[in-house]
Amino acid sequence: MCGVVGIMGTPEASREAFLALTTLQHRGQDAAGILTYDAEGFHKVRNLGLVENVFNRDNMATLTGNIAIAHNRYSTAGRGTIDEVQPFLISYPFGISLACNGNIVNSNELARELKAGSRRHLLTHSDTEILLNLLAEALEKSVPASSTALADEATLPDTLTFDQICQAVTTICKRVNGSYSVVSTIADHGLIAFRDPYGIRPLVYGKKLMRREGEKETALATGEAHMVASEGVALDFCGYELVRNLEPGELLYIDAAGKVHTRVLDQRQARHCMFEWIYFASPESVIDQTPVYGTRLQLGKNLSNIVKRELSAKGFHADLVVPIPETSRIAAITLAEELGVPNREVLIKNRYIKRTFILDSQDKRQKAVNLKLSPVKSEITGKNILLVDDSIVRGTTSKKIIELVRRAGAERVFIVSTCPPIRKPCFYGIDFPSEQELVAHGRTTQEIETELGADAVIYQDLAGLENAIHEAQNIATQGKSKKFKPCMACLDGKYPTDVTESGKKFGASRSAERKLKSIEAADKKSLDYGP
Ligand code: SF4
């Protein structure tokens, strides 16, 4: 999971890219990069670390130009080295930069084809480099040879038409199996953005009028600046008005004159990732016309009947609903309201520790939990505590928190997950690829209770999750938008794309890469969060 941003039409492009990346920091904390373009050429700053650590006044001053793309990295594929920090850049043809949020399932196969068929030698293990090479190859093929041969500097902006770009991106949609939300620039042409045919990862488009008193003149004749981003929160923060999300399989192209072209190239049944609403996206974002905050409220409501049923079957009752910060707070509000039980934030978070789930090794996750939460003992002692978590993935965090609450004097500890049991790997960019790492894989609920040390473990069901997303979408659009079937493959095994053969290879290579990353990370003092 990563965050991407594309901006065009403002002299403040790099500054806005920095602000947008900051608002999307929750989508990836491993690395960040911004790339701009102007008459002097491409300019880029990329490094490992948080946005605030990668960029400073001096290196930001080098990022000149009216067009920028930017990326926050959460490494799930590749080796997590500085060479793999996005955006990527290729000189031929035209000069293309690209950043992607997603994961390519058939990356091994495509890498082989690029090498054997096109003599393109890849320099990294990143699947984004594969996408960039595929785009470069397809753009080269889409432009007739004579027009490339005859082009000189004066005619370059006219050498690539929207139809030719469409042709190139259609090739990508046909060849690439996986999830991809992409932003890219083509030198002297403009900004392009596209989404895979299932729309697994989010991408939104917005614009703003630039010619206001006291503000610098816009770079485009239309007087508008444009932004594409993983989430609407980035648009809001930089003053852009959300126009709409990109459709699955849609290409958006803003040309050098500021004209916006769009076309749906290859659309299958939408399968947006349910985990965006459960955990990843910022609560103020609206993903595919479905508010994240509203969905989380509904998730809490939908859980209440299940909780009542499960607790009464065991002869238990809850005295307090306690959200595990931060994501589950919203669902805990409605769950507590429906249950008629007080909602108390008695697990206090140390805000300076990174999000536990994103930390890239089991050992670091275990150490991080100890540092991250402190219980308010006076409120917990002698009570039956109903913990609310957004999801239970490996169970590492949940187990530690249950222990913590018991040590704080709780009589009984129950844990509720707003997400149904995760039993299958994700091949589309969430870092739980190995079934063996998932606490719910191959275990009954009773066995999970024993594993976690909880008096009860209660999960949302599939219908409750799907209903929560649809209810929030319905309320936001007053029933006017088309319902979609979210991807829930890690819950029900129904993958939107074929993951049989390439998926197995992908999973195996991902495990090997993660092991390598853990070894490399252990050597880096700066990444040691443990006590
Ligand atoms: S498999 Fe799960 S985490 Fe992966 S895209 Fe589908 S719903 Fe999201």
On the CB side of 263, CA atoms within 13 Å amount to 13
**Alpha carbon distance 261, 89 (integer Å):** 23
Give the residue-averaged pLDDT of 41-59.
97
Give the model confidence (pLDDT) of 257-301 as tens digits: 999 999 999 989 999 999 999 999 999 999 999 999 999 999 999
Is residue 2 annotated as a catalytic residue, yes or no? yes
For the Cβ of 63 lying below 6 angstroms from any atom of ligand 1, the answer is no
State residue 309's pLDDT score: 97
For the Cβ of 426 lying below 6 angstroms from any atom of ligand 1, the answer is yes
The larger pLDDT score, comparing residue 363 to residue 111, is at: 111
Which amino acid, 335? Answer: L
Task: Choose the weakest-confidence range: 109-113, 297-301, 324-328, 504-508.
Answer: 504-508
**Alpha carbon distance 468, 128 (integer Å):** 33
For the Cβ of 253 lying below 6 angstroms from any atom of ligand 1, the answer is no
Which is catalytic among the residues 2, 238, 419, 490? 2
Q: What is the DSSP letter of 506?
A: H
Mean pLDDT of the chain: 89
Confirm if 393 and 328 have CB atoms less than 8 A apart.
no
**Beta bridge pairs of residue 244:** 205
**Alpha carbon distance 123, 125 (integer Å):** 7
Tell me the domains of the chain and their CATH numbers.
Answer: 3-268 (3.60.20.10), 287-481+488-520 (3.40.50.2020)
Give the model confidence (pLDDT) of 85-127 as tens digits: 999 999 999 999 999 999 999 999 999 999 998 899 999 999 9
Q: Is the pLDDT of residue 478 over 50?
A: yes
Ligand 1 centroid vs 365 CA: distance in angstroms? Answer: 21
**Alpha carbon distance 465, 326 (integer Å):** 19
Q: Is the pLDDT of residue 519 over 50?
A: no
Ligand 1 centroid vs 278 CA: distance in angstroms? Answer: 11
Alpha-carbon distances, residue 499 vs 114, 177, 182, 456 (angstroms): 21, 9, 21, 34
**Alpha carbon distance 370, 132 (integer Å):** 41
**Alpha carbon distance 113, 64 (integer Å):** 36
Give the residue-averaged pLDDT of 428-442.
86
**Alpha carbon distance 366, 363 (integer Å):** 5
Share of the chain above pLDDT 70, in %: 85
Predicted structure pTM score: 0.89
| Ligand 1 atom with minimal separation from the 486 CA | 7
State residue 525's pLDDT score: 28
| Ligand 1 atom with minimal separation from the 432 CA | 3
Which amino acid, 183? Answer: V
Q: Read off the pLDDT band of 411 (50, 70, 90).
A: very high
With 0-12 / 13-18 / 19 or more C-beta atoms within 10 angstroms meaning exposed / middle / buried, residue 118 is: middle
State residue 387's pLDDT score: 98
Ligand 1 centroid vs 257 CA: distance in angstroms? Answer: 38
